[in-house]
Structure 1
């Protein structure tokens, strides 16, 4: 069975974006980049990876899930951001923009979609963001891979949106600190 991994950059205080959705403060250079890419190849948009000379082949995922706000960050310039992956965007009120031919848009229950994807053959499923989608599928998340950045946002989009749900236990499988200050924390559902 395929696994769902929530792989995302996050601040020390638990935010995946600032109050206005900004994420440009996350460290995009440093000694953490190459080792993390070696483990999570293919997790950059196709054009960005090509511009950086990074191969998107042989990564752990063949499918990426996003909420509309995460997807819309690259619009209108990049309506098909992860062309090397199957892309599914969860939205209830937005239409597919022009040029988004390789992107599936759905208003279906995210849990049902994730369960169907897990039953299919293939590589892992990457939950790219955001916090509301992560909360909706929290019971289906098998692994967490958190690129903990050495900064505080104080407010913004949390790793998981607030909600009334039961606690879930994860156990660490690896914690890798880098000189840049980034710490890659990897967990598996207990």
Structure 2
């Protein structure tokens, strides 16, 4: 039974038109050598609407200090977290409570990152019962797949881009479970990107 609570788990993620969040190598597609289009209006919309989802280096470069109104907690899998580590960033979100799920990392390189080997579903259910803003599921695909049943809201940053193959929104290991969603917000940008917000309509 999926119980919808006041504090929601939101999968806020950039995706291509064909449903991929990264290329086949899993590297950061929006990094210096990435292929993701970062148009000025796309970045501005994030700054204005979801400033807390910008990593610390982007916040500093753009002069962003806004706390944000959507999330106070971010959840990340080990592989996604290690992309930041490889770039020399031990905590990309020091302005948020930052949980990284891993059974192999012995110690977090940053004291502000909470490393947990616990079951993601049990952890999220506990977090939902705590007071606070919503919980941001950053990714990657494996963590999103394991938390599929707990996701209350999807915010898709849909880019006018196709890549034919890569890392999908949800790991192929996730069970086949059709879910329906209601479009609650749609923001198209001049550059061709769209921000789509969906809430689950089947909560049983």
Tell me which protein shows more helix as a share of its residues: 2
After alignment, is 118-127 or 175-184 more displaced? 175-184
Tell me the matched-pair count.
189
User: What whole-Å deviation, never above 9, does each CA across 1:124-181 have from its counterpart, x for those lacking one?
Assistant: 1000111111111111111100001111121111001122242111111122221211
**Residue of structure 2 equivalent to 1:58:** 68
Q: Which runs of 5+ in 2 are unaligned?
A: 1-5
Q: Work out which of the residue numbers 137, 141, 144 in structure 1 matches 2:154.
A: 144
Q: Work out which of the residue numbers 15, 21, 24 in structure 2 matches 1:19.
A: 24
SS of the equivalent of 1:57 reads: coil
Shift of 1:97: 4.4
Q: Please give the residue correspondences for 1:34-183 in structure 2 after superposition, counting only pairs within 5 Å.
A: 34-76=44-86, 77-98=88-109, 100-162=110-172, 163-183=174-194
Contact 2:108 2:115 in 1 (8 A): no
SS of the equivalent of 2:186 reads: strand
Does residue 10 of the first structure (1) align with residue 15 of the second (2)?
A: yes
Relative to the length of structure 1, the TM-score reads: 0.93
User: What whole-Å deviation, never above 9, does each CA across 1:17-61 have from its counterpart, x for those lacking one?
Assistant: 000113122222322222233221210112321121122413311
Contact 1:2 1:121 in 2 (8 A): yes
CA distance in 1, matches of 2:149, 2:191: 32
CA distance in 2, matches of 1:8, 1:75: 20
